[in-house]
């Protein structure tokens, strides 16, 4: 298993894990409406664990710092992460609390609706950061999101000496404090709009990126779904739009997490390549994921996402 290798660059994820209970139906229900669905599945999710598994499946040396409950799902989750090649030596159990869950509805169009109950994820604390301080400090890439307490992620970002990658999801606007510690901020269009208080359109992408760079991050990536991603850096603030191939989506759940996990993995494995190629390859991993049902189960393994050159334009 790749996670035993001490010399390989490490990807440490601090964040959430939850169990996804997913129903599939012809369309999403209207408020107060009951629909007959076609299928039900139980799977492992949560943004943090999704990103960790996405990186591990691509051969990354990954560690998960998170919390599960002391229920049957917590035990199953730990075993699952191990089976995916993730190091779980800093994955904690919380007594008398349920493991986080997400209730997901998926329509035939690929659209989804999600209700999350955070459970043990709310208990990921600064003391967990302290007990994992050595691992966090020396991680080549540290990934955080917003499904666990912000002050915990902030504490970890202050310690880390490598690349700090924040996926500011789910969307919230009160994160200015952590942005100055970010090497890379990765957001989708609605998250970028909420943080900047500006609508993201093709005409004002440059202004939105500039405002986000101004808040302290070195690089900002805005994912655009099937349109690829656009990014800018402090060193070169001119936005670059990277394109991805078009596919018919089957299930878009967790595609953003596939992108983030792949991005972290490629940043350590292909650091000599230009950023637009690394982002293009991460888009390709996310694209593959939307062509299959499920979240972590849809993430590809053993693929070379660098076989093609990715098209990009300067905006």
Q: Is 245 helix (H, G, I), strand (E, B) or coil?
A: coil
Q: Which residue has the tokens 């919390």?
A: 67
Query: Is 10 within the bounds of a domain?
Result: yes
Domain of 53: which CATH number?
Answer: 3.40.1190.20
Number of domains observed in the structure of the chain: 1
% of the chain at pLDDT higher than 90: 76
32 within a domain of the structure (yes/no):
no
Q: Residue 165: CB partners within 8 Å, gap ≥ 6?
A: 141, 142, 143, 144, 182, 183, 184, 186, 260, 263, 264, 267
pLDDT band at 131 (very low <50, low <70, confident <90, very high): very high
Q: Respond yes or no: is residue 4 known to be catalytic.
A: no
Task: Report if residue 134 sits inside a domain.
Answer: yes
pLDDT at residue 230 greater than cutoff 80: yes
* pLDDT (tens digit per residue) in 159-178: 999 999 999 999 888 999 99
pLDDT at position 6, please? Answer: 52
Is residue 197 included in any domain, yes or no? yes
How far apart, in whole angstroms, are the C-alpha atoms of residue 289 and residue 57?
12
- pLDDT score of 274: 92
> CA torsion sign, 66 to 284 to 270 to 211?
negative
Identify which of 149, 117, 107 has the alpha carbon closest to the alpha carbon of residue 45.
Answer: 117
∠ CA 137-139-141, rounded to 5°: 125
Inform me whether the pLDDT recorded for 1 exceeds 60. Answer: no
Neighbours of 288 (CB within 10 A): 19
Q: What is the pLDDT of residue 231?
A: 95
Does 13 reside within a domain? yes
Q: What is the reported pLDDT for 3? A: 43
Q: Is 248 within the bounds of a domain?
A: yes
To which residue do tokens 């991680």 refer? 139
- Catalytic annotation, pick one of 70, 257, 272, 304: 257
* Residue 264 structural domain: 2-17+45-98+120-314
Tell me what pLDDT residue 250 has: 77
Quick check: is 200 in a domain? yes
Say what percent of the chain tops pLDDT 70: 98
Number of neighbouring beta carbons within 10 Å of residue 180: 10
Domain assignment present for 262: yes
Q: What pLDDT is recorded for position 287?
A: 93
- Average pLDDT in the 254-275 region? 94
Residue 46's nearest CA partner among 99, 125, 7 is 99
């Amino acid at each position: 298993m790749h996670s035993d290798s001490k010399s390989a660059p490490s990807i440490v994820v601090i964040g959430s894990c939850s169990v996804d209970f997913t129903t599939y139906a012809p369309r999403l229900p209207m408020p107060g409406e009951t629909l007959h669905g076609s299928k039900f599945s139980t799977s492992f999710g949560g943004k943090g664990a999704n990103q960790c598994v996405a990186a591990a499946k691509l051969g990354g040396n990954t560690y998960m710092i998170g919390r599960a409950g002391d229920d049957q799902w917590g035990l199953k989750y730990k075993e699952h992460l191990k089976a995916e090649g993730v190091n779980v030596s800093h994955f904690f159990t919380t007594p008398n609390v349920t493991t986080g869950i997400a209730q997901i509805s998926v329509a035939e169009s690929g659209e989804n609706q999600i209700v999350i109950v955070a459970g043990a994820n709310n208990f990921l604390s600064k003391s967990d950061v302290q007990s994992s301080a050595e691992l966090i400090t020396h991680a080549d890439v540290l990934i955080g999101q917003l499904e666990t307490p912000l002050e915990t992620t902030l504490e970890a970002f202050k310690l880390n000496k490598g690349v700090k990658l924040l996926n500011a999801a789910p969307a919230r606007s009160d994160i200015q404090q952590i942005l100055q510690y970010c090497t890379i901020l990765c957001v989708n269009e609605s998250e970028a709009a909420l943080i900047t208080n500006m609508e993201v359109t093709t005409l004002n992408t440059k202004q939105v990126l500039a405002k986000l760079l101004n808040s302290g991050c070195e690089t900002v990536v805005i994912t655009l779904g099937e349109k690829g991603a656009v990014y800018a850096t402090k060193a070169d603030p001119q936005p670059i739009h990277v394109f991805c191939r078009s596919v018919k989506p089957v299930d878009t759940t967790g595609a953003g997490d596939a992108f983030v996990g792949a991005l972290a993995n490629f940043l350590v494995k292909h650091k000599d390549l230009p950023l637009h190629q690394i982002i293009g390859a991460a888009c390709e991993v996310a694209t593959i994921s939307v062509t299959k049902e499920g979240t972590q189960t849809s993430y590809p393994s053993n693929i070379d996402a660098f076989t093609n050159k990715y098209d990009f334009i300067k905006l």
